[in-house]
Amino acid sequence: MKISVVTVVYNNINTIRETIESVLGQDYPDLEYIIVDGASTDGTLELVKGYGSRISRFISEPDKGLYDAINKGIKLASGDVVGLLHSDDLFYHSGVVSKIAKAFQQNAVDSVYADLHYVAQHDTLRVVRDWRSGEYKRNRFQRGWMPPHPTFYVKKVFYERFGLYDTEFKSAADYELMLRLLYKHGISTHYIPDTLVKMRVGGESNRSLKNRLRANKEDFMAWKKNNLHPKFYTRFLKPLRKLPQFLSFRRRSYS
């Protein structure tokens, strides 16, 4: 099984090297690594070029935003399975992609997801939030649940069948995609009970109260655009579900 990992980057010279090294350090043999750069001007372009043929595919050109760049990467992918690792993120260890491949093979599913640690911007050993997602049940989406997007890997055929990221969304296209694939179209999935990705805090949707409110509005739009009907409390439970992630890392809550 060939797995494609896509990294999208724009002017992120400070962290992109760590991201690249965490991918190139994977022990899985059939791995395709694709980097999509948005015409960076801070040295990112030269850094990536320095890896030469170790990067499977690399393009650098202006784009129409994050999700447009992600869609370019998915279209370039030749793997059976596609996942993302943004330029602020890291794989937790060298066996992450092997574990993902094993989950697909042993469970004969269409997608997989796992757990995630939010880490400090300048100290990736310091965990800020612990996102333990738990087993998937369809009605959990109505209770504000979603899997951690950076851990979500999908067979490419389902992007071709059900569509890519909707670029109408500015900060919630990841939520809309997972809602569409898992909840609306019912593709099968498997939960890997392990933390596979470190994600630096400070993502676009959480950078300010204004952005958080916009993301919450877009979450509701995601249901409406797919002709789905959330519960009246879905929109409010989604941000509230983040609160336990700040509590003791030993605590598990999968309700």
Dmax (CA) of the chain: 52
3-state class of 149 per DSSP? helix
- CATH no., domain 3-246: 3.90.550.10
Q: Taking residues 32-60, what's their average pLDDT?
A: 97
Helices (H) then strands (E): counts for the chain: 8, 9
Is residue 7 a contact partner of residue 55, using CB atoms and an 8 Å limit? no
Predicted model pTM: 0.90
What percentage of the chain reaches a pLDDT higher than 90? 81
Query: Given this model, what pLDDT does residue 243 score?
Result: 56
- CA-CA distance, 177 to 149, in Å (whole number)? 10
Confidence of residue 3 (pLDDT cuts 50, 70, 90): very high
- CA-CA distance, 15 to 48, in Å (whole number)? 12
What does pLDDT average to over the chain? 90
**What is the 8-class DSSP label of residue 95?**
T
Confidence of residue 215 (pLDDT cuts 50, 70, 90): confident
User: Domain residue spans in the chain?
Assistant: 3-246
Query: Given this model, what pLDDT does residue 214 score?
Result: 72
**Burial annotation 242-251 (CB, 10 A radius, 16+ → b, else e):** eebbeeeeee
Q: Which residues, 6+ apart, have CB-to-CB distance to 1 below 8 Å?
A: 30, 80, 81, 101, 104, 105
Query: Given this model, what pLDDT does residue 120 score?
Result: 94
How confident is the model over 86-102, as pLDDT tens digits? 999 999 999 999 999 99
Is 206 a residue whose pLDDT tops 60?
no
Q: Taking residues 155-183, what's their average pLDDT?
A: 97
